Amino acid sequence: KKIRELFYNIFYVEDHALHFYFLGGPDFVVGPAAPKGQRNILGVLGKVGLEIGKEVIGLRKQMRDLLVLTGGKAAHPVLGLPGGVAKAISKDDQANFIAAGEHAVQFAEFSLKIFADVVLKNKQYVDWILSDTYTHKTYYMGMVDDKNKVNFYDGMLRVVGP
């Protein structure tokens, strides 16, 4: 269970870095008024600097390398089997996972600061996000723990209505 949960969390970090810096974030970081051709990772790099870009790319590579190490490949990994996993994590590899986890936490804290500074401190952005235009009330479900907090790997299913 711990290896499967670790694997999912590695994917989660890599996927959210992809979304924040490459897919969704450019609209906020570069700005919605910027030309479409600039609302991409290159526009983000122009705003936050090349060093940040190297960090983002480095973090994603580090996470994908761990996915490959654990699941054989990053896309469509061969990992989970009924009752276990296809490959254990060796003692030698544990240090890589620990270092990557520490790096991921540090980078997540940095990214949250960018989000707070660029998005949450911009009244216009907050007004847009909270407006009816950007709110889609629907039924959805997800897993939660015993304290009703989101849990992406293990928990009870919770269904929420509009």
pLDDT by 10s per residue, the chain, length 162: 889 889 999 999 999 999 999 998 899 889 889 999 999 999 988 988 899 889 999 999 999 999 999 888 888 888 888 888 888 899 999 999 999 999 999 999 999 999 999 999 999 999 999 999 988 889 999 999 999 999 988 899 999 998
Answer yes or no: do 141 and 103 share one domain: no
Number of domains within the chain: 2
Domain extent, residue 158, equals 136-162
- How far is it, in rounded angstroms, from Cα 156 to Cα 150? 10
Dihedral sign from CA coordinates of 36, 37, 42, 46: negative
**β partners of residue 157:** 143
Answer yes or no: do 77 and 31 share one domain: yes
> Exposure of 95 by Cβ count < 10 A (0-12 exposed, 13-18 middle, 19+ buried)?
exposed
Answer yes or no: do 70 and 114 share one domain: yes
Answer yes or no: do 126 and 50 share one domain: yes
pTM of the model: 0.83
Answer yes or no: do 108 and 147 share one domain: no
Structure tokens at 24: 């969704």
Answer yes or no: do 121 and 144 share one domain: no
